[in-house]
Amino acid sequence: MVFWHPAGFVLVRAMEDAIRRRLVMDGFVEVLTPQLVRRPVWEASGHWENFRAHMFSFGDRGREEALKPVSCPCHIQIVERMAPSYRDLPIRLAEFGVVHRDEDDGALNGLFRLRQFTQDDGHIFCEKAQIEDEVVRFCASVRALYEAFGFASFSVALSSRPAQRTGDDAMWDLAEQVLDTAARSAGLEPSLQPGEGAFYGPKLEFSLQDRLDRSWQCGTIQLDFAMPERFGLSYVDSQGTKARPVMLHRAILGSIERFLAVLLEHHQRALPPWRAAAAELVALCTPPL
């Protein structure tokens, strides 16, 4: 976990401001959810079964709670209480989600891998027909923001179903095909990473190349049919009946701490003038789409 000194914290806040401006441009609304969430929520999401080894949990049996390793189940709770109709979709929620993961000591690596970090987290709840437009919109934001931070190129990979997963093969076949089609509509040609998807769905992973041609995985967008089903999430469609929304998990930076580490590596610690002028960084990172 990080001790942010004044100069470093200026950078963190400047990056948050840049992302907030991008969120507004992309139609997101910001929310804030609890750090400590009870076990039934993690059981419903599948994390208790599939991610339990990396969660910090507390309490006696029957009253267990865990520090959140992700924010997605919490955002589902918010949407469920909205009782949305098709007119409300897509719903785009964003959060600077402080999350905790019980990483092995050997996996920890400065700002690159921590036990506590901040995701520029966002979730989109939409109809199946809206998936492609949302993925294309996300890819445009990724390109604009990365270029503003000084990265002229990036690579994209499609991570497919892992061995430990939720949902049947038919669901995964559809999710992988839809995400691949959406990526190509955005002008991308993703390489395949077999078995590297999240346990609930496939994902596109965006990796940056620094000045030494090293690759760093940062942004991601994940297509999830499983979690809305597991929570029984629904909306009222145009026929007045209940329908199941699709969920997209997205982050442009991935984590603020990791992205800052990549910036330091890329610029060899000699950050551009916005190191001393956070306002300039905010303006730099918000070019028009």
Is 289 within a domain? no
Is 144 within a domain? yes
Catalytic residue (choose from 22, 68, 100, 101): 101
Is 53 within a domain? yes
**In the chain, how many domains are there?**
1
CB-based contact 284:146 (threshold 8 Å) = no
Catalytic residue (choose from 92, 123, 161, 258): 123
Domain that holds residue 146: 6-284
Catalytic residue (choose from 47, 92, 249, 266): 249
Is 255 within a domain? yes
Q: What is the mean pLDDT of the chain?
A: 89
Is 1 within a domain? no
Is 96 within a domain? yes
Catalytic residue (choose from 22, 47, 68, 119): 119
Does 279 score more than 50 pLDDT? Answer: no
Catalytic residue (choose from 121, 126, 139, 258): 121
pLDDT tier, 276 (very low <50, low <70, confident <90, very high otherwise): very low
Is 267 within a domain? yes
pLDDT tens string 93-131: 999 999 999 988 888 888 888 999 999 999 999 999 999
Distances (CA, A) of 135 to 123, 139, 235: 12, 6, 21
pLDDT tens string 77-88: 999 999 999 999
Is 173 within a domain? yes
Identify whether 121 is a catalytic site residue. Answer: yes
Q: What is the pLDDT of residue 215?
A: 84
Here the CATH number for the domain that contains residue 43 is: 3.30.930.10
Identify whether 203 is a catalytic site residue. Answer: yes
Identify whether 123 is a catalytic site residue. Answer: yes
